[in-house]
Structure 1
Amino acid sequence: MIVWVNGTHGVGKTTTSALLQPLLANARVFDAERVGEMLMDITPGLPATDNFQHWPPWRALVVETARSVLEYAGGTLVVPMTVLVEGYWREISDGLRAHGIPVRHVVLHADEATLRDRITGEHEVPSSFRLAHLRPYAQAARTWLHESATVVDTTGAPPADVAARVAALCRRWSDQ
């Protein structure tokens, strides 16, 4: 099974995933961003973009990497990765399902004020990249993202509590 932990940048996907991994039997965290970093290292480079998710090879390689890891090691892959473009999400989730891999889509959510506080409070210089994704996240949440996932509100919740809630969801899904 894949537990895809989605949500905007700064909502706590990486922290939640690290805390979730030991709560699930035979689970591993797969950071799909590393696939994008690998593609960025290709020289001469791929066509210029502001987001490696726009490269079709990123989406295909995420599917194939996840499939290969699960085929080799089994268990559960926890994937903390923001995907805000519906077509990209469909391509990835449909690709995984075509390989017979159940995908459980969780979106971590927090209100905008909480997100801004988290983003501006975590570094001396607030991340303009993370702040720039608040609007696209809100748009995706309104139009498709929240409908395609189980939403877990992280506003005011300690990371360990968020991970425990996601783990409880995973146990329920495993029992189905």
Structure 2
Amino acid sequence: MIVWLNGTHGAGKTTTSAHVQQLIPNSRVFDAEKVGETLMDITPGLPGTDNFQHWPPWRPLVVETARRVLDYTGGTLVMPMTVLVEQYWREISGGLAQHAIPVRHFVLHADQDTLRRRIAGASPVPSPFRLKYLEAYAEAARLWLHGEAEVVDTTHLTPVQAALEIAEAVKS
């Protein structure tokens, strides 16, 4: 099984995923961003983009990597990864379904003011990269994302509280 933690920067995916992993027996955290980092290391580089998710190989490589890890280890993969493009989510979730891998898709949500505050507090200089995705997240949430996942509002939750809510939902 895969427990996919979606949501934009500042929602708490990375921190929450570590706590979820501790609460679900035989689970591991797999950050699909590492697949993107591998693609970014190709020399000479792949065609220019502002987001590795736009490279067509990224989505099937995420599916294949997750499948191979699960075939090897069994158990559950906890995957913290923002996916805001519906077509990309369909490719990933459809690819996992073709391998009969169940996915519990959660969106960690927080209001825009909270997200901005968290992003600003993450480093001395707020990340323009992280801030630019706030609007894309709001649009995806409104158009499709919240309808495709179980939404966990982290505005007033600690990562531990969010993880407990997710783990309980997965276990039930």
The answer, yes or no, to whether TM exceeds 0.5 is yes
SS of equivalent to 1:3: strand
SS of equivalent to 1:65: helix
- The superposition leaves residues 23-65 of structure 1 with CA deviations (integer Å, 9 ceiling, x where unpaired) of 0010000010000000001011111111000011110100000
In structure 1, how many angstroms separate the alpha carbons of the residues matched to 2:61 and 2:21?
22
Q: Give RMSD over aligned pairs.
A: 0.5
SS of equivalent to 2:157: coil
Residue 122 of structure 1 and its aligned partner are, at CA, apart by 1.9
Q: Which amino acid in the other structure matches residue 19 of structure 2? A: L
SS of equivalent to 1:108: strand
In structure 1, how many angstroms separate the alpha carbons of the residues matched to 2:119 and 2:39?
27
Q: Does 1:26 align with 2:11?
A: no
**2:17 counterpart residue number:** 17
TM-score for the superposition, normalised by structure 2: 0.99
Q: Size of the alignment, in residue pairs? A: 172
Q: Which amino acid in the other structure matches residue 46 of structure 1? A: L
In structure 1, how many angstroms separate the alpha carbons of the residues matched to 2:57 and 2:88?
11
TM-score for the superposition, normalised by structure 1: 0.97
Gaps of 5+ in 2: none
In structure 2, how many angstroms separate the alpha carbons of the residues matched to 1:170 and 1:17?
13
The 5 Å alignment of 1:102-141 reads 102-141=102-141
In structure 1, how many angstroms separate the alpha carbons of the residues matched to 2:46 and 2:2?
29
Moved over 4 A (4+): none
Residue 76 of structure 1 and its aligned partner are, at CA, apart by 0.2
In structure 2, how many angstroms separate the alpha carbons of the residues matched to 1:157 and 1:80?
17
Residue 10 of structure 1 and its aligned partner are, at CA, apart by 1.4
Residue 121 of structure 1 and its aligned partner are, at CA, apart by 1.5
In structure 2, how many angstroms separate the alpha carbons of the residues matched to 1:159 and 1:5?
12
Gaps of 5+ in 1: none
Q: Which amino acid in the other structure matches residue 149 of structure 1? A: A
Q: Which amino acid in the other structure matches residue 109 of structure 2? A: H
